[in-house]
A and B are shown apart, each in its own frame.
Chain A
Amino acid sequence: MNNMSNQDRYRNTAAIQASLRKRYARERRFQWYGRIAVLGSFVFLAILLLDIVGKGLPAFSQYFIQVPIEMDADRLGVGPDPTEDELFGANYLAVIKASLRELFPDVEGRKEKRLLYEMISLRAEYTLRDRVLENPGLIGTTTEFWLLAHAEAGSYLKGQVDTALPEADRRVKDLQVQWLERLRAEGRAEERFNATFFTQGDSREPEMAGIKAALYGSFFTLLVTFLLAFPIGVFSAVYLEEFAPRNRVTDLIEININNLAAVPSIVFGLLGLAVFINFFELPRSAPLVGGIVLSLMTLPTIIITSRAAIQAVSPSIREAALGVGASRLQTVFHHVLPVAMPGILTGAIIGMAQALGETAPLLMIGMVAFIVDVPGGVTDPSTVLPVQIFLWADSPERGFTEKTSAAIMVLMGFLIVMNAVAIYLRRRFELK
Chain B
Amino acid sequence: MTGTGESTPVSPARATAGSVEEAATARDHGLNVRDHTETGDYKTVGKPFVENAKMAARNVNVYYGDKQAILNVSLDIGANEVIAMIGPSGCGKSTFLRTLNRMNDIIPICRVEGDISLDGEDIYGSGQDTVLLRARVGMVFQKPNPFPKSIYENVAYGPRIHGLAHNKAEMDEIVENSLRRASLFDEVKDQLDKPGTGLSGGQQQRLCIARAIAVSPEVILMDEPCSALDPIATARIEELIDELRANYTIAIVTHSMQQAARVSQRTAYFHLGKLIEVGATKTVFTTPRHELTENYITGRFG
In chain B, residues 158-190, which have Cβ atoms closer than 8 Å to a Cβ of chain A? 158, 161-162
A-B contact pairs, 29 of them (CB 8 A): A246-B108, A316-B141, A316-B145, A317-B145, A317-B147, A319-B29, A319-B106, A319-B141, A320-B147, A320-B208, A321-B147, A321-B157, A322-B106, A322-B134, A323-B138, A323-B139, A323-B141, A324-B135, A324-B157, A325-B132, A325-B138, A326-B131, A326-B157, A334-B157, A334-B161, A335-B147, A338-B148, A339-B148, A432-B149
Chain A residues packing against B (C-beta within 8 Å): 246, 315-327, 330, 334-335, 338-339, 432
Q: Which A residues are in CB contact (< 8 Å) with B146?
A: 320
Does B215 sit at the interface, judged by CB under 8 A? Answer: yes
Q: Which B residues are in CB contact (< 8 Å) with A432?
A: 148-149
Name the residue of chain B whose CB is nearest to the CB of A327. B131
Contact of B148 among A317, A318, A319, A322 (CB under 8 A): A317
A324 touches B211 (CB 8 A): yes
Contact of B161 among A317, A319, A325 (CB under 8 A): A325
Q: Which A residues are in CB contact (< 8 Å) with B147?
A: 317, 320-321, 335
Q: How far is the CA of A318 from the CA of B135 in the complex (A)?
A: 15
Number of A-B contacts (CB under 8 A): 64
Q: Which B residues are in CB contact (< 8 Å) with A323?
A: 101, 103, 134, 138-139, 141, 212
Q: Which B residues are in CB contact (< 8 Å) with A246?
A: 108
Q: Which A residues are in CB contact (< 8 Å) with B161?
A: 324-326, 330, 334
**Whole-angstrom distance between the Cβ of A380 and the nearest chain B Cβ:** 44
Interface centre among A317, A323, A326 (most CB of B within 10 A): A323
Does B121 sit at the interface, judged by CB under 8 A? Answer: no
Which of under 10, 10 to 19, 20 to 34, or 35 or more describes the interface residues of B? 20 to 34
B215 touches A324 (CB 8 A): yes
Name the residue of chain B whose CB is nearest to the CB of A320. B145
Name the residue of chain A whose CB is nearest to the CB of B211. A324
**A325/B135 contact (C-beta < 8 A), A335-B147, A432-B148 known:** yes
Name the residue of chain A whose CB is nearest to the CB of B136. A325
**Whole-angstrom distance between the Cβ of B300 and the nearest chain A Cβ:** 34
Q: How far is the CA of A326 from the CA of B212 in the complex (A)?
A: 12
Q: Which A residues are in CB contact (< 8 Å) with B149?
A: 432
Q: How far is the CA of A322 from the CA of B130 in the complex (A)?
A: 9
**Whole-angstrom distance between the Cβ of B185 and the nearest chain A Cβ:** 19
B215 touches A316 (CB 8 A): no
Q: How far is the CA of A327 from the CA of B145 in the complex (A)?
A: 18
**Whole-angstrom distance between the Cβ of A308 and the nearest chain B Cβ:** 16
Q: Which B residues are in CB contact (< 8 Å) with A330?
A: 161
**Whole-angstrom distance between the Cβ of A132 and the nearest chain B Cβ:** 63
Q: How far is the CA of A335 from the CA of B157 in the complex (A)?
A: 11
**A319/B108 contact (C-beta < 8 A), A325-B135, A325-B161, A325-B162 known:** no
In chain B, residues 105-144, which have Cβ atoms closer than 8 Å to a Cβ of chain A? 106, 108, 131-132, 134-135, 138-139, 141, 143
Q: Which A residues are in CB contact (< 8 Å) with B29?
A: 315, 319
Q: Which A residues are in CB contact (< 8 Å) with B134?
A: 322-325
Q: Which A residues are in CB contact (< 8 Å) with B139?
A: 323
Q: Which B residues are in CB contact (< 8 Å) with A316?
A: 141, 143, 145
Q: How far is the CA of A322 from the CA of B211 in the complex (A)?
A: 12
Contact of B138 among A324, A338, A339 (CB under 8 A): A324
B148 touches A324 (CB 8 A): no
